[in-house]
């Protein structure tokens, strides 16, 4: 059976990166022949099979022909006569259109190896424009490979701009947009995801709430980078540094300042009340992209509370307690650790402040632990119920926070 290793496994091997899942292409076979060899069929839209021993994916070589709008509008041809080169020709980027034979020989009809060496993300051919999802894939690959020095080829960027101008990105289903966005935010350089979309005009189509932040000034004494869009890029990259691979933290970092786009012009560069003004556009974004609840809840907390966490030392004991309670910290304490990371990313995601200390994060967690030390069972012994129970519990926890903030309490 003529098989070739393809796609990301070959690309990452050539880049000297750890290999992920391995995918294979099979040339000259039929579905019936694959089943007869013990493979299990799993593909819904095209013939993909799982190897009977390794469980790795083996797909029949195929071509795709555009038949409608959107990323689903394709007719697939997996006839045994389809060649390996034809299969590689339907792929998105040259660096993903390299195959490796069992003897190690590379099949590289589109110059992917050269583009890997030159650190260029280049589309394979004109068929790239038939799938609007590839614009987001380009951004996602840049989020992963920008730290290695990759750039988008000029002709690929020009084609992406044409695709955006066609309006076909509106055909993308929310789940696929979110999938690419979340993977980009979990990559090493999320800012490259955002910048790539903005450079081709897709950010305004996919994330208009984020696109609106560019050009919005901030006070230079707090934000030397001034531009809010640039600040958000820096916060996203700092979040990736503090919480590698965590798209929940990454999404909150991306959207924490959405309210700054709604600041009246006569108030700029101040942003009074932007943390609450950001909740409405955040809700609109989450509804449109069907953002998972875990991501949405942390994003809401970060948007609403990041200024409070920054000035934690100035808050009264009862205000600290109520902040924790609003975040459901006593039932889901892990959220506070995530919130602390987002706030740290916000504070350090500023020009010249990348290496600043952020003691507020550890302090917030310490005060949460103090409040958690007061158990509901301690209050319940007094026979209280309902609102009276809740008020006594609150007072006890506020007192515990106060004791934790007494001089020397942190070193006891």
Per-residue buried b or exposed e for 354-374, using 16+ beta carbons within 10 Å of the residue's own CB: eeeebebbebbbebbebbeeb
pLDDT at 231 over 60: yes
Q: What is the mean pLDDT of residues 338-355?
A: 97
Look at residues 103, 93, 129, 124 and name the one whose alpha carbon lies nearest to residue 4.
Answer: 103
**pLDDT above 80: residue 378:** no
Instruction: Please tell me which residue, 121 or 74, carries the higher pLDDT value.
Output: 121
Instruction: Please state which of the ranges 66-80, 147-161, 252-266 shows the lowest mean pLDDT.
Output: 66-80
pLDDT at 262 over 90: yes
The model carries a pTM of 0.91
Exposure on the CB side of residue 100, measured as CA atoms within 13 A: 18
According to the model, what pLDDT value does residue 206 have? 96
- What value does the mean pLDDT take over residues 297-325? 97
Domains in the chain with CATH codes = 1-117 (3.30.460.10)
The pLDDT-based confidence of 376 (bands split at 50, 70, 90) is: confident
C-alpha to C-alpha distance for 210 and 34, rounded to whole angstroms: 47
Residue 87, C-beta contacts closer than 8 angstroms, at least 6 positions apart: 6, 25, 27, 61, 62, 63
410 vs 274, residue with greater confidence? 274
Is the pLDDT at 380 greater than 80? The verdict is no
Place of tokens 């593909």: 43
Percent of the chain with pLDDT over 90: 84
- Give per-residue pLDDT as tens, 137-190: 999 999 999 999 999 999 999 999 999 999 989 989 999 999 999 999 999 999
Q: Which of 83-87, 120-124, 176-180, 382-386 has the lowest mean pLDDT?
A: 382-386
**Cα distance between residue 227 and residue 235, in whole Å:** 12
Among 88-92, 159-163, 202-206, the minimum mean pLDDT is found in: 88-92
pLDDT > 70: what percent of the chain?
95
| Long-range Cβ contacts of 273-280 (<8 Å, 24+ apart) | 275/303, 275/304, 275/305, 275/306, 275/307, 276/304, 278/303, 278/304, 279/303, 279/304
* Rounded average pLDDT over 243-257: 98
Q: Is the pLDDT of residue 44 over 70?
A: yes
Q: What is the pLDDT of residue 68?
A: 53
Using CA atoms, how far apart are residues 333 and 363, in angstroms rounded to an integer?
14
SS3 147: helix
| Reduced DSSP (H G I as helix, E B as strand, rest coil) percent helix, strand, coil of the chain, to 5 | 55, 10, 35
- State the average pLDDT for the chain: 93
Average pLDDT over residues 70-94: 83
Is the pLDDT reported for residue 129 higher than 70?
yes
Confidence of residue 39 (pLDDT cuts 50, 70, 90): very high
């Amino acid at each position: 059976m003529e098989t070739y290793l393809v796609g990301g496994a070959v690309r990452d091997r050539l880049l000297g990166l750890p290999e992920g899942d391995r995918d294979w292409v099979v040339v000259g076979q039929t579905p019936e022949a694959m089943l007869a060899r013990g493979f299990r069929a799993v593909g819904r839209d095209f013939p993909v099979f799982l190897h009977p021993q390794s469980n790795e994916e083996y797909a029949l070589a195929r071509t795709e022909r555009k038949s409608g709008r959107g990323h689903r509008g394709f007719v697939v041809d997996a006839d045994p006569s389809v060649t390996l080169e034809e299969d590689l020709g339907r792929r998105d980027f040259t660096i993903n259109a390299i195959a490796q034979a069992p003897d190690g020989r590379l099949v590289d009809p589109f110059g992917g190896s050269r583009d890997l060496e030159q650190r260029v993300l280049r589309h394979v051919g004109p068929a790239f424009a038939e799938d609007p999802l590839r614009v987001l894939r380009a951004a996602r690959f840049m989020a992963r490979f920008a730290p290695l020095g990759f750039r988008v080829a000029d002709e690929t960027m020009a084609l992406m701009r044409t695709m955006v101008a066609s309006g076909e990105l509106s055909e993308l289903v929310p789940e696929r947009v979110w999938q690419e966005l979340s993977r980009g935010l979990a990559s090493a350089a999320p800012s490259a995801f955002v910048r790539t979309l903005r450079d081709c005009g897709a950010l305004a189509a996919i994330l208009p709430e984020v696109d609106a932040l560019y050009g919005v000034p901030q006070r230079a004494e707090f934000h030397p980078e001034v531009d809010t869009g640039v600040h958000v890029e820096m916060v996203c990259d700092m979040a990736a540094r503090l919480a590698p691979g965590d798209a929940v933290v990454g999404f909150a970092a991306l959207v924490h300042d959405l309210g700054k786009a709604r600041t009246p012009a006569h108030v700029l560069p101040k942003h009074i009340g932007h943390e609450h003004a950001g909740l409405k556009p955040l809700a609109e974004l989450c509804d449109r992209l069907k953002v998972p609840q875990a991501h949405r809840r942390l994003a809401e907390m970060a948007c609403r509370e990041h200024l409070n966490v920054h000035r934690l030392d100035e808050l009264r004991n009862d205000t600290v307690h109520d902040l924790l309670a609003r975040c459901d910290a006593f039932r889901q304490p892990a959220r506070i650790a995530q919130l602390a990371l987002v706030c740290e990313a916000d504070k350090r995601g500023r020009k010249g402040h990348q290496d600043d200390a952020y003691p507020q994060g550890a302090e917030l967690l310490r005060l949460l632990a103090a409040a958690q030390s007061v158990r509901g069972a301690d209050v319940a012994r007094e026979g209280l119920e309902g609102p009276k129970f809740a008020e006594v519990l609150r007072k006890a926890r506020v007192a515990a926070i106060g004791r934790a903030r007494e001089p020397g309490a942190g070193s006891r």
